[in-house]
């Protein structure tokens, strides 16, 4: 036997010959290049395991060179002719580089472009991409958790996300927006929803003691569930240190005896952050720019503005909206000094505040650009309510006091929205009780050089003893859009209202007023205002006018137009609603369907 050994050809290198033929080898044969074995990943980091596993899965398919070598061996076995073998070897090999990790090609894109792409992906896809690389993990996790907690989520998903934020500080720092809604039910059995009666399996009746114990247990369980959700929301607020937009709606119902003793922890978190005494080692709400606090009718009379006033001192806060505030007298222990707040947009919606309290709020702001105030006694004044609550006392209102403090912001104020809503019978009763019900007027706004948008009752703009034709003298020259409110509480005689509107067209020296909106209350007849000639005169000078009628109309609320032959109405431009509602948009209260999807907190 010869010392030289012939090369061993495995079965996959040979082509099965036809029956009765013997296999043969080519005269020249080159073995295929062996693929180098990859290093094991058992001892590598978990992130490296994910990347390498993706690379191996993506590099599926045989190598071009190995395929040509295998065909050459088969051809040498007699299955192919030399001509065919030459054609096969001459097959062009693709020189296009094959990415080892196609999923990771997004890593090379800029972060700004990635943010725009990932917005259209589902949460499941974002969760998969977050495992590709560190950069993709940061961008995908920011898309998953940056939107935070909002009302668009279902109740199940909202609870899971709240638990995730409480458990994982890294993910909590990515949260930018939070909408927290507190709904703790009342323990008063007379107003609490009665539990359903459970039938016994044996058909017998429950005894009185068993029925009472079952009812008490069901009510306590319900209270524990709602209270636990409230504590989780408090923990989420404390964990999300970089939140930028915060909406808090407290619609809880407590027994009267609990009100003064109950601690609103979300208030304590905001106040402690404002006075530089945070809960824990890390400062909270340093990036907070937008704050919206809405109080329900059961809480507004007990959560006093005195406790909320230090929140105005937050360094980064620029836009603040308060809804449902009730204060019947000036606050002695005010928590924010003059010019101590950097708020630029202040909105007081559905509030029942004493004019001195509004003056305190305006004096605390250094330079306002947008201001909205809606004075409303509806659901806020309860003369026969609890004598210790502030809702049982009338909050005196005066436009003159508010106008004096608005003069502090005449160099920066760009939009002003004022609304006054009450009932004539209520005014008559409180006037007999000795309260001051004279609203007076704001005074002249001619020095407000930056004021572009103005919405207010006609009584707040025009003094009671002034001629209607003098209305342009009390308005700034740079005003572009004007919204005037008139209703049954207006002191100006309806017959003279048309003259006041017509004066805006006759006295236009230096005025840039482009649009005019007259909002008429349901309790007054439009025919009595004598607007036929006024609207026609406005249209001749190029001033677009619109007359609408809505009981509670103000900026941001739906409006229905008045259709009649007596008014030659012109249509507003398309951008009018956007201009007038800038800075005063109301929060949507629509409910959404429950989302049953899971939240990945890895």
CB 372 within 8 A of CB 343: no
* Backbone φ, ψ for residue 481 (5° rounding): -135, 135
Q: For 392-427, how does the pLDDT look when each residue is reduced to its tens digit (9 = 90+)? A: 788 888 999 999 999 999 999 999 999 888 877 788
Q: For 477-492, how does the pLDDT look when each residue is reduced to its tens digit (9 = 90+)? A: 889 999 988 887 787 7
Note the pLDDT of residue 224: 44
Residue of 322, 249, 248, 252 lying closest to 285 (CA atoms): 248
CA-CA distance, 470 to 463, in Å (whole number)? 10
Helix spans in 396-493 (H): 399-406, 424-432, 458-461
Most confident of 114-118, 126-130, 169-173, 562-566: 169-173
Q: Which residue has the tokens 């805006």?
A: 504
Range from 2-6, 31-35, 533-537 carrying the lowest mean pLDDT: 2-6
Residues contacting residue 69 through CB under 8 Å, at least 6 positions apart: 30, 31, 32, 33
Share of the chain above pLDDT 90, in %: 17
Range from 43-57, 150-164, 172-186, 417-431 carrying the lowest mean pLDDT: 43-57
**Mean pLDDT within 521-530:** 76
- Higher model confidence: residue 46 or residue 191? 46
Question: 44: which 2 tokens?
Answer: 């590598």
CA-CA distance, 95 to 201, in Å (whole number)? 77
CA-CA distance, 264 to 250, in Å (whole number)? 10
Question: 295: which 2 tokens?
Answer: 């109080």
Instruction: Give yes or no for residue 373 having a pLDDT over 90.
Output: yes
Note the pLDDT of residue 128: 83
- Higher model confidence: residue 489 or residue 589? 489
Share of the chain above pLDDT 70, in %: 62
Residue of 341, 347, 342, 343 lying closest to 324 (CA atoms): 347
- Higher model confidence: residue 319 or residue 168? 319
pTM of the entire structure? Answer: 0.68
Neighbours of 544 (CB within 10 A): 18
Handedness of CA 358, 447, 409, 332 (dihedral sign): negative
CB 451 within 8 A of CB 414: yes
- Higher model confidence: residue 217 or residue 490? 490
3-state helix, strand, coil in the chain (%, to 5): 35, 10, 50
**Burial (Cβ within 10 Å: 0-12, 13-18, ≥19) of residue 293:** buried
CB 561 within 8 A of CB 519: no
SS3 210: helix
Residue of 291, 265, 284, 273 lying closest to 184 (CA atoms): 265
CA distances from 441 to 69, 283, 365, 424, 437 (A): 97, 44, 22, 19, 13
Instruction: Give yes or no for residue 198 having a pLDDT over 70.
Output: no
Instruction: Give yes or no for residue 322 having a pLDDT over 90.
Output: yes
CA-CA distance, 162 to 245, in Å (whole number)? 16
Confidence grade of residue 345 (pLDDT, cut at 50, 70, 90): very high
For 175-284, list the strands marked E by DSSP: 177-182, 245-250
Neighbours of 173 (CB within 10 A): 16
Residue of 367, 444, 457 lying closest to 413 (CA atoms): 367
CB 293 within 8 A of CB 314: no
């Amino acid at each position: 036997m010869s010392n030289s050994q012939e090369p061993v050809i495995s079965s996959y290198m040979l082509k099965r010959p036809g029956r009765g033929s013997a296999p043969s080898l080519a005269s020249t044969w080159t073995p295929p290049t062996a693929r180098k074995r990859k290093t094991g990943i058992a001892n590598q980091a978990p992130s490296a395991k994910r990347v390498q596993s993706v690379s191996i899965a993506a590099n599926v398919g045989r190598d071009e060179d190995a395929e040509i070598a295998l065909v050459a061996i088969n051809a040498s076995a007699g299955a192919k002719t030399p001509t065919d073998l030459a054609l096969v070897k001459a097959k062009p090999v693709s020189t296009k580089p094959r990415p080892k990790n196609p999923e990771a090609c997004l890593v090379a894109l800029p972060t700004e472009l990635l943010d725009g792409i990932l917005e259209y992906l589902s949460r499941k896809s974002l969760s998969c991409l977050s495992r590709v690389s560190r950069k993709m993990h940061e961008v995908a996790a920011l898309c998953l958790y940056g939107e935070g907690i909002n009302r668009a989520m279902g109740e199940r998903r909202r609870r899971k996300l709240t638990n995730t934020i409480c458990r994982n500080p890294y993910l909590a720092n990515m949260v930018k927006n939070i909408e927290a809604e507190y709904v703790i039910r009342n323990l008063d059995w007379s107003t609490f929803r009665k539990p359903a009666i459970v039938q016994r399996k044996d058909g017998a009746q429950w005894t009185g003691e068993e029925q009472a114990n079952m009812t008490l247990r069901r009510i306590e369980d319900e209270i524990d569930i709602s209270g636990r959700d409230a504590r989780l929301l408090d923990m989420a607020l404390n964990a999300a240190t970089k939140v930028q937009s915060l909406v808090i709606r407290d619609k809880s119902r407590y027994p009267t005896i609990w009100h003064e003793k109950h601690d609103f922890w979300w208030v304590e978190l905001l106040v402690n952050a404002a006075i530089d005494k945070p809960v824990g080692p890390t400062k909270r709400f340093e990036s907070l720019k937008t704050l919206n606090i809405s109080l329900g009718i059961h809480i507004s009379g007990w959560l006093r503005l005195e406790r909320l006033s230090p929140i105005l001192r937050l360094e980064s806060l620029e836009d603040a909206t308060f809804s449902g505030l009730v204060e019947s007298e000036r606050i002695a222990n005010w928590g924010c000094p003059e010019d101590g707040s950097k708020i630029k947009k202040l909105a007081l919606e559905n509030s029942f505040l004493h004019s001195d309290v509004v003056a305190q709020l305006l004096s605390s702001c250094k330079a306002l650009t947008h201001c909205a105030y809606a004075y409303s006694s509806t659901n806020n004044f309860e003369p026969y309510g609890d004598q210790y609550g502030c809702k049982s006392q009338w909050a005196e209102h005066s436009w003159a006091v508010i106008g004096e403090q608005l003069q502090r912001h005449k160099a920066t104020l760009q939009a002003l929205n004022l609304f006054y809503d009450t009932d004539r019978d209520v005014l008559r009763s409180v006037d007999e009780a000795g309260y001051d019900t004279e609203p007076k007027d704001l005074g002249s706004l001619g020095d407000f050089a930056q004021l572009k948008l103005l919405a207010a009752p006609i009584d707040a703009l025009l003094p009671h003893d002034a001629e209607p034709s003098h209305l342009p003298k009390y308005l700034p020259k740079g005003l572009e859009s004007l919204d005037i409110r008139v209703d049954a509480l207006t002191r100006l005689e309806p017959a003279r209202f048309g003259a006041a509107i017509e004066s805006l067209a006759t006295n236009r020296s230096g005025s840039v007023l482009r649009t005019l909106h007259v909002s008429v209350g349901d309790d007054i007849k439009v025919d009595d205002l004598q607007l036929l000639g006024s609207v026609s005169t406005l249209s001749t000078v190029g001033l677009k006018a619109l007359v609408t009628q809505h009981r509670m109309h103000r900026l941001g609320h739906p409006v229905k137009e008045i259709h009649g032959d007596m008014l030659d109405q012109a249509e507003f431009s398309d951008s009018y609603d956007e201009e007038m509602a800038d800075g005063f948009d109301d929060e949507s209260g629509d409910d959404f369907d429950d989302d049953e999807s899971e939240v990945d907190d890895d």
